[in-house]
Structure 1
Amino acid sequence: MSAFFQKKPVVAGLLVALIAFLLDQWTKFEIVYNVMVRPHVIEVTSFFNIVMAWNRGVSFGMFGWDSQTKVYVLAAMAFAAAIGLAYWMQRENRLRFALPCGAIIGGALGNGLDRLHWGAVADFLDFHYAGYHWPAFNVADIAITTGAALLILDSLFHKTDSSKNEDRD
């Protein structure tokens, strides 16, 4: 199977996108409709809680004002980013590039769908220490952050084939 994905990295990337999207949507469904029917804090460890937080903005709650137009604009931006990454993934056609792109695509689609469905992104993972809380986040945010970090690492360590670049002097 690994040889198949090496030959068809876009398929592998899209599979990662699907897995990230489905895992994100499943966890949000469980939190919103089953676990947090009556919102409360579930203390899992001394540094981690499950909470119900609605992010109406973007990262860290920035631009969190209420506006129906903003909901559609942010959802459209998420979907446009997913389409752009899918196109870039297809052009690059490398497994080490496709997998993180797939993670970002799946996360973007998950958070974009939340905006259209609920008007906000459902966040529920809450890490804290000594009274300081990291902003709550979700599985889509983990996929996006991990994918972005892996793309940065790939850009730092990927060697391009210089024979493909023509000397234009």
Structure 2
Amino acid sequence: MAAIPAVGGNQSTTRSMALWLIWAVVIVAADQWTKELILRNYQWGEATTITNFFNIVRAHNTGAAFSFLSNAGGWQRWLFTGIGTVASLFIIWQLYKHPTQKLFCFALASVMGGAIGNVVDRLMHGYVVDFLDFHAMGWHFPAFNVADSAITVGAVCLIVDELLRARREA
């Protein structure tokens, strides 16, 4: 009688999956902890100047990146929650399928941790809490948070991973 393989594949795949899922949980925890500090200590719109180019500010984003669709009337909350959820499920599948690709998995786990952090906000508050505010010489970058940073780092790592893969295959 043939043995039935364990769910999740071999031990190495399971260990790798656990590592990347832990990384995503660390990102979610750091994101939610920092947002809770902001919610507890700042009123909406209140800011603290840290340097001449950086403030801590409490901002609410009902849209996506750069406040895309922030004035859409409320339906976007559920759209972006759904996108974050579906993306996270897809990422889990990719982590399972590519356990030996460390940079790729780091990138995906970072994106997933950030996506889940922002989904939690949308479900709890109806908006994403942003608080990192950079500006210089009249230029102002939209406020963002730890989750957004993780998504950005993950996206950059995905690009680097693909460039390295293309270079190896050339």
Q: TM-score, normalised by structure 2?
A: 0.85
How far did 1:70 drift?
2.0
Q: Could you list the per-position Cα deviations for residues 26-76 of structure 1 after superposition, in whole angstroms to 9, with x for gaps in the alignment?
A: 00001012x204742100011100001111111100111253332112111
CA contact (8 A) 2:132 2:145 kept: yes
More deviation in 119-128 or 150-159?
A: 150-159
Question: Which residue in the other structure is 2:142 paired with?
Answer: 135
**Aligned runs of 1:54-93 on 2, under 5 Å?**
54-93=60-99
CA contact (8 A) 2:81 2:123 kept: yes
Length, aligned pairs only = 158
Question: Which residue in the other structure is 2:37 paired with?
Answer: 30
Q: Percent identity?
A: 34
Q: Secondary structure at the match of 2:142?
A: coil
Q: TM-score, normalised by structure 1?
A: 0.85
How far did 1:118 drift?
0.7
Q: Distance in 2 between matches of 1:56 and 1:38?
A: 13
Unaligned runs of 5+ in 2: 1-10
Q: Which of 22, 29, 54 lines up with 1:48 in the alignment?
A: 54
Q: Distance in 2 between matches of 1:77 and 1:6?
A: 26
Unaligned runs of 5+ in 1: 163-169
Q: Could you list the per-position Cα deviations for residues 110-141 of structure 1 after superposition, in whole angstroms to 9, with x for gaps in the alignment?
A: 00110111111000000000122100000000
CA contact (8 A) 1:13 1:100 kept: no
* Structure-2 change in CA distance of 1:95 and 1:8 (3 Å): farther
